[in-house]
Structure 1
Amino acid sequence: MPEVESHGIRIRYDDQGQGEPALLFLPGWCASRRVFAELTRRCARWRRTLALDWRGHGESERPTEDLGFDRLADNGGFTGEEAHPDIDFGFDSLVDDALAVIEASQADRVVPVALSHAGWVAIELRRRLGARIPKLVLLDWIVLEAPPPFLGALQALQDPAQWQQVRERLFSMWLQGLDLPALAHFVREDMGSYPFAMWARAGREIAAAYAKAGSPLQALASLDPAVPVLHLYAQPEDAGYLEAQRSFSDTHPWFQVVKLQARSHFPMYEVPDEMARTIERFVA
């Protein structure tokens, strides 16, 4: 299994297939690259696919032992101020991890395939690398302005008295009505393995990204020159959410949206073949 150092932290990643532009699969916070296992296997039929674990996630190295974080639940919560600078990290560090994998791969052109809020990393990769990132693929992301209940959940994830209850509500929502053992295992065992510190960090970083940019669509529209973007998503079912994206596409023709026939927040567990074919058509 290949690995690369990102500012002294060992980052593990998978490398399959051949052909450029390569796909770089970026998991969300509190998730490992296992979420992409079926999708990357299919995409690798057509081109090179890379999939990483962020620092502190999956099989990548933790920045240091989170000694201080283990006690945060007892002293009032997480603001980042309590953390040693060598321990704490945010989206900037995730961008560094992705850049390290890109350089280690020696791929000339790379298309990020970003799950949920890893989309903020994908956008920053385009800003920094320009034409080396010829397109972006976004998976199941809140691309409009964040709704107030979602922002409230992000805040509650940073509260030691509320975070477990909020996480359980998220897990229940993601699994409701689905009989998918592999997805249930991923959500409960993989995502469920991350402690308060990581979920608090995720809440802080995601909320800050929306506060700064307004929405992912606004951030994408600010890129100059524009980059072709594909958003593949399954949830929510809200027709207004799809219509808002189609309306945006009418005035920003570089943006495409495809609503998948799936019922979960992780459609790669339901329709990996459809997703792989759609991604390949877009990239090719």
Structure 2
Amino acid sequence: MIHTITVNGFPCEYVDHGSAGKPPLVLLHGWAQDHRLFRHLAPILARDFHVYALNFRGHDAQLTDVGDFTADDLASDVIGFLDLLGLEQVRFVSTSHGCWVNIEVQDRLADRALGKTVVIDWLMQPFPGFHTQIREGCEPETVVAARQSLFTEWTEGTDVVDVLDHVDREMTWFGVEMWMRACREIEKAYGHWGDPLQRMSVLADRLQVAHIYSQPLADDYRVFQEDFSRENTWFTPVHLPGQTHFPTLENPEGVAKAIAAFYS
């Protein structure tokens, strides 16, 4: 069942799994996604946690027109959600560029934060052409082609029906206006911080992070993260073999196992 509450004056949907007696865990999707990204993962996590799959502002089933908004607004909504439900010592799991929101939430929660969080398939080291794709995704004339170029990279070589359906139907359902907003906010985040590792490093003295990922597939991307981890013990990369940008759909059991191990 999808529940709806009002957070900061806007409708906020969430789906919960598991019993109230278990530790709370909040799932945060990326831009132009919703709780369906976690449809296989959430029931598995519910064995150990009370899981809340939250839909961001403007990402509800009615695609409510809430006007323009930013990633910072989404972070405010997440904290408002925690306050309304009275959730404390929350475990967080976020995906893709929804991870910028997650880390901003950890920053703002300060002493209220658990001190550990999970990020999934967040681009730690932009590949050649990434910033061009994001810049073109901001413009009405090029947004559709730019979006498709990313979709092709994310799903190349897979025949997993859930992944293809998520990209071809669910993500495109949100429309180009949401995609342009997403690209604007992603471009802004990389422009300000350089990359996610620099953003998270600001909280290195009080935040442990596990990065569960499959893409990019190149060996040097794995080596890059492993090298960084040896020098920065707050960061733990967890590589799951897979072909796509969506391990929560491609390998939910593996993702759930990694999350449970990190929070155990």
Q: TM-score, normalised by structure 1?
A: 0.87
Which residue among 244, 257, 261 is the counterpart of 1:264?
A: 244
What's 2:3 paired with? Answer: 2
1:1-284 pair list within 5 angstroms: 1-18=2-19, 19=21, 21-59=23-61, 62-64=64-66, 87-134=67-114, 135-144=116-125, 146-223=126-203, 225-284=205-264
Identity %: 33
Secondary structure at the residue paired with 1:165? helix
**2:112, 2:62 → 1: CA distance?**
25
1:172 is displaced (CA, Å) by 2.1
1:281 is displaced (CA, Å) by 1.0
**1:148, 1:179 → 2: CA distance?**
26
**1:51, 1:211 → 2: CA distance?**
29
Checking the alignment, whether the CA contact within 8 Å between 2:210 and 2:238 is kept in structure 1 is: yes
1:176 is displaced (CA, Å) by 2.0
Q: Which runs of 4+ in 1 moved over 4 A?
A: none
Q: Bigger CA drift: 53-62 or 162-171?
A: 53-62
Deviation string, structure 1 residues 28-82 (Cα, Å, up to 9, x no partner): 0011110011101100111111111111113266244xxxxxxxxxxxxxxxxxx
Amino acid at match of 1:4: I
Asked which structure has the greater CA Rg, the reply is 1
| Count of equivalent residues | 261
Checking the alignment, whether the CA contact within 8 Å between 2:89 and 2:112 is kept in structure 1 is: yes
Amino acid at match of 1:140: D
Amino acid at match of 2:10: I
1:173 is displaced (CA, Å) by 2.2
**1:63, 1:100 → 2: CA distance?**
19
Structure 2 residues without counterparts, runs of 5 or longer:
none
Secondary structure at the residue paired with 2:150? helix
Checking the alignment, whether the CA contact within 8 Å between 1:139 and 1:233 is kept in structure 2 is: yes
Q: TM-score, normalised by structure 2?
A: 0.93
**2:189, 2:13 → 1: CA distance?**
25
Amino acid at match of 1:8: G
Checking the alignment, whether the CA contact within 8 Å between 2:133 and 2:150 is kept in structure 1 is: no
1:252 is displaced (CA, Å) by 1.2
Secondary structure at the residue paired with 1:195? helix
1:251 is displaced (CA, Å) by 1.4
Q: Bigger CA drift: 208-217 or 222-231?
A: 222-231
